[in-house]
């Protein structure tokens, strides 16, 4: 059972604390707070009235004098005079065992011989503290802590502190008030969580402590997500947006299965970010959380990947919200163009390579030249590779754009373009002589050897 300590605020703000479960059913009231202590004697009468937060009307709680006492329409069993022997002691103080509906303004009107002597008005702020799931919290579940002050305008700030005094990230919600979370609870998270409420215009705070214990023998049952799958491709070394589920979440995990394999035992956790704990674990320096319009600190996630060829494969982005996991799968092919100089006896050649990963995505690949009438000889040195050869030096009929097009099975395509220009005529002749001389030297070396 959680326990609380409370510090009364100064001036006319008296904060009474109650606790409720997630469904806001009050199950225990931990203390009573005297609204005021009034000791009077003689022909004196007291009228206690209340004006609730949602009304503009004052209602009588009770009226008392040395001769008589009667209850008004706003009277409740939870409201009573402190001393039943008020006629003899002259103590007309009111004590309240508060519920949420009891928040509001309380008026104490003092009259003598039916003339107003004094009136004091008090603001009763009710702090409702809640948590979910019920204790003991199952391991790896998400602990949620709530605190709401009614009326809202009576407090300037509500904070939460973890065991050990570490400040916690909080957010304000219209229905739950000020909320914080502890995702994936473990035994080390057990202890006292402190809620501090600061009344407006007062630096002193009201404290409420919730003692949480973790059941390490019982783990939360979190279903495995199915998720949608996207098949797509990108060029190597270009920034690519890895999509995550659109649902806002508490934390995000990105798993990666290397390209061209179905062995799921090779899947790795490459990124983990918990926005409530401000925790980040990144095992791939080519990955980072995406910025606007995404906001990781607010629970909106996606990733930017600058992949090389080997970074293709299956990416699974999992977003968790209150122990419900949403999943997005992306099967990514990476296309990379590459030039290789090849020299043989005569002449020299330039080999254009088109490499791609995650072949299960790919229907086919082809090299094309700007001049569609120019037919290219295409070869392959193995799966995920096609090449074409250009004679050197580059001549005007060889120059132009060479495009490698990767066609995916879903109809999408991606291209890598390499451009070649022919040198001026004079330089071309010089280059040709250099190529002939170079090839001749290689040939002579081969003969001598």
Q: Which domains does the chain have, with CATH numbers?
A: 1-220 (2.60.40.10), 228-333 (2.60.40.10), 334-427 (2.60.40.10)
C-alpha 257/C-alpha 243 separation (Å) is 16
Q: How far apart are CA 417 and CA 412, in angstroms?
A: 17
pLDDT at 31: 29
Picking from 15, 57, 49, the residue whose alpha carbon sits closest to that of residue 32 is 15
Question: What does the buried/exposed string (b/e) look like for 82-100 if buried means 16 or more CB atoms within 10 Å of the residue's CB?
Answer: bbeebeeeebbbbbbbbbe
pLDDT of residue 427: 52
- The burial of 30, by beta-carbon neighbours within 10 Å (0-12 exposed, 13-18 middle, 19 or more buried), is given as middle
Beta strand extents in 43-173 (DSSP E only): 44-52, 59-65, 69-71, 79-81, 94-96, 104-112, 115-132, 137-139, 143-150, 155-161, 171-173
φ and ψ at residue 270, rounded to 5 degrees:
-105, -15
Would you give the DSSP letter of residue 43?
A: S
Between the CA atoms of 295, 297, 300 and 302, what dihedral angle is there, to the nearest 10 degrees? 70
Tokens of 86: 């008020």
Largest pairwise CA distance in the chain:
134
pLDDT, position 434 = 43
Span between the terminal Cα atoms of the chain, in Å: 91
CA 187 from centroid of its chain's CA atoms: 22
Residue 92's pLDDT is 77
The residues near 153 (Cβ < 8 Å, ≥ 6 apart) are 200
pLDDT for 372 equals: 79
- pLDDT one digit per residue (tens) for the chain, 449 residues: 333 333 232 223 333 333 332 222 222 222 233 444 555 566 778 889 999 988 889 999 988 877 777 777 778 888 888 877 777 777 778 888 888 888 889 998 888 877 888 888 888 888 889 899 988 899 999 999 999 998 888 889 999 999 999 999 999 998 889 999 999 999 999 999 999 998 887 767 778 888 998 887 767 655 566 678 999 999 999 999 999 999 999 999 999 999 999 999 999 999 999 999 999 999 999 999 999 999 999 999 999 999 999 999 999 999 999 999 999 999 999 999 876 655 454 467 888 899 999 999 999 999 999 887 788 888 888 899 999 988 888 888 888 899 999 999 999 999 999 888 887 765 544 454 344 333 333 333 333 33
Q: What is the pTM of this model?
A: 0.77
């Amino acid at each position: 059972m959680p326990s609380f300590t409370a510090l009364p605020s100064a001036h006319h703000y008296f904060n009474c604390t109650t606790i409720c479960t997630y469904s806001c059913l009050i199950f225990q009231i931990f203390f009573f707070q005297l609204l005021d202590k009034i000791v009077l004697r003689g022909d004196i009468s007291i009228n206690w009235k209340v004006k609730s937060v949602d009304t503009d009307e004052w209602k009588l709680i009770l009226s008392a004098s040395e001769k008589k006492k009667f209850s008004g329409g706003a009277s409740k069993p939870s409201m009573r005079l402190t001393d039943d022997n008020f006629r003899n002691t002259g103590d007309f103080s009111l004590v309240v065992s508060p519920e949420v509906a009891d928040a509001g303004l309380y008026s104490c009107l003092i009259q003598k011989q039916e003339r107003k002597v004094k009136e004091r008005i008090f603001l009763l702020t009710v702090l409702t503290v809640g948590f979910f799931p019920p204790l003991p919290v199952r391991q790896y579940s998400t602990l949620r802590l709530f605190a709401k002050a009614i009326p809202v305008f009576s407090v300037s700030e509500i904070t939460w502190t973890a065991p050990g005094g570490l400040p916690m990230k909080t957010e304000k919600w219209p229905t739950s008030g000020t909320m914080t979370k502890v995702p994936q609870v473990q035994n080390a998270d057990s202890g006292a969580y402190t809620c501090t409420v600061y009344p407006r215009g007062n630096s002193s705070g009201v404290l409420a402590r919730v003692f949480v214990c973790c059941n390490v023998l019982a783990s939360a049952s979190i279903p495995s997500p199915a998720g949608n799958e996207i098949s797509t491709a990108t060029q190597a070394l270009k920034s690519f947006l890895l999509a995550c589920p659109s649902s806002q979440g508490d934390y995000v995990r990105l798993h990666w299965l290397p390209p061209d394999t179905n062995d799921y035992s090779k899947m790795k956790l490459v990124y983990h970010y918990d926005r409530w704990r401000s925790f980040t674990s990144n095992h791939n320096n080519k990955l980072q959380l995406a910025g606007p319009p995404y906001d990781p600190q607010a629970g909106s996630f996606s990733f930017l990947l600058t992949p090389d060829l080997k970074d293709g494969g299956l990416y699974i982005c999992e977003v968790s919200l209150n122990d419900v996991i949403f999943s997005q799968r992306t099967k990514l092919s990476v296309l990379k163009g590459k030039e290789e100089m090849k020299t043989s006896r005569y002449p020299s050649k330039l080999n254009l390579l088109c490499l791609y990963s995650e072949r299960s995505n790919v229907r086919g690949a082809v090299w094309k030249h700007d001049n569609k009438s120019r037919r290219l000889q295409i070869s392959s040195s193995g799966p995920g590779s096609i090449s074409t050869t250009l004679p050197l030096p580059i001549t005007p009929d060889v120059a132009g754009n060479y495009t490698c097009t990767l066609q995916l099975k879903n109809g999408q395509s991606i291209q890598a373009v390499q451009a070649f220009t022919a040198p001026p005529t004079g330089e071309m002749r010089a280059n040709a002589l250099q190529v002939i001389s170079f090839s001749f030297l290689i040939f002579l070396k081969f003969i001598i050897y």
